[in-house]
Structure 1
Amino acid sequence: MPNLNVYLVEGYSEAQKETLLVRMTDAVVDSIAAPKASVRIFLIELPRAHICAGGVVLAAEARAGGPLSPGGPTIHAFLISGRTDAQKEALIGALTGVVDEVLAIPPAPVRVMIFDVANTDFGMQGVTAKSLGR
């Protein structure tokens, strides 16, 4: 653990996405002292027709010909419970900063949600994280 699901509008280059994933991994390691090998990040690309922000479907926004909003991204970070408020704050800031630096999306539309998962409710290697001493 930690596992991150990153929801992103399609259209970014493979190089940008790869850089985003690597830099997010580093942000997790640096912010909450997670072992790098335990970090899992899943990038979920969505077409503009599948994202609605503020009541506006991004595909309709694109058809209107005006400036395109990034529609997010939204990041769900699933962590084994026990991280401090300061670590969570650092993680939110670091992930938001990576999105800005790599994708040129400013902090305002970025959403980061942290989900604390009890060590009895997360399994690895066929057993709970608690039974592995986590």
Structure 2
Amino acid sequence: MPNLNVYVAEGHTVAQKAALLQRMTDAVVDSVGSPKESVRIFLIELPRAHVCVGGVTLLADELAGRPVPPGGPTVHAFLIAGRSDAQKEALIGGITRAIGETLAIPPDPVRVMIFDVASTDFGMKGVTAKSLGR
């Protein structure tokens, strides 16, 4: 079930983004034990004018000749409730490493938020995850 929304500022190559998606998939599988085929990751690429850090857009920093911070990335990970704290910590670490190693972004600006979703509040195949035994 894991669904991840990954928000990144524009500017990464197709190869970097493909590697990021693969590495993040592996991090989910390794940390929470989900089957690879059930992992869904949506990469949402944002224009620099749409990312703000400390009240200043990344585009404004760029146009002013200032160093441009990475502006994230931010990851929202939606999981069926029931994962242990250790699994969640492993997921956060694995995602952060995947971002660092594929996009060359240090861990400090990376944000990972895990949302536990009750099995009655997540649907697949037209029914709840609970009705499917999850």
TM-score scaled by length of structure 2 = 0.99
How do 1:41-120 residues align onto structure 2 when only pairs under 5 Å count? 41-120=41-120
* Residue in structure 2 matched with residue 11 of structure 1 by the alignment: 11
Structure 2 letter corresponding to 1:74: T
Give secondary structure in 1 for the equivalent of 2:115. Answer: strand
Number of matched residues? 134
Deviation (angstroms), 1:57: 1.0
Deviation (angstroms), 1:53: 1.2
Deviation (angstroms), 1:54: 1.6
Alpha-carbon displacement from aligned partner over 1:21-66 (angstroms, at most 9, x marks no partner) = 0110000000110110100000000001001112111110111112
Alpha-carbon displacement from aligned partner over 1:43-101 (angstroms, at most 9, x marks no partner) = 00000100111211111011111211110000000000000000000000010011000
1:131 maps to 2:118 = no
* Residue in structure 1 matched with residue 22 of structure 2 by the alignment: 22
Give secondary structure in 1 for the equivalent of 2:75. Answer: strand
Give secondary structure in 1 for the equivalent of 2:83. Answer: coil
Alpha-carbon displacement from aligned partner over 1:75-133 (angstroms, at most 9, x marks no partner) = 00000000000000000001001100000000000000000000000000000000000
CA–CA separation in structure 2 for the residues paired with 1:89 and 1:70: 23
Structure 2 letter corresponding to 1:27: A
Unaligned runs of 5+ in 2: none
Deviation (angstroms), 1:16: 0.3
Unaligned runs of 5+ in 1: none
CA–CA separation in structure 2 for the residues paired with 1:53 and 1:29: 31
TM-score scaled by length of structure 1 = 0.99
* Residue in structure 1 matched with residue 32 of structure 2 by the alignment: 32
Structure 2 letter corresponding to 1:91: L
CA–CA separation in structure 2 for the residues paired with 1:82 and 1:19: 29
Structure 1 letter corresponding to 2:67: P
Give secondary structure in 1 for the equivalent of 2:42. Answer: strand
RMSD: 0.5
CA–CA separation in structure 1 for the residues paired with 2:53 and 2:94: 23
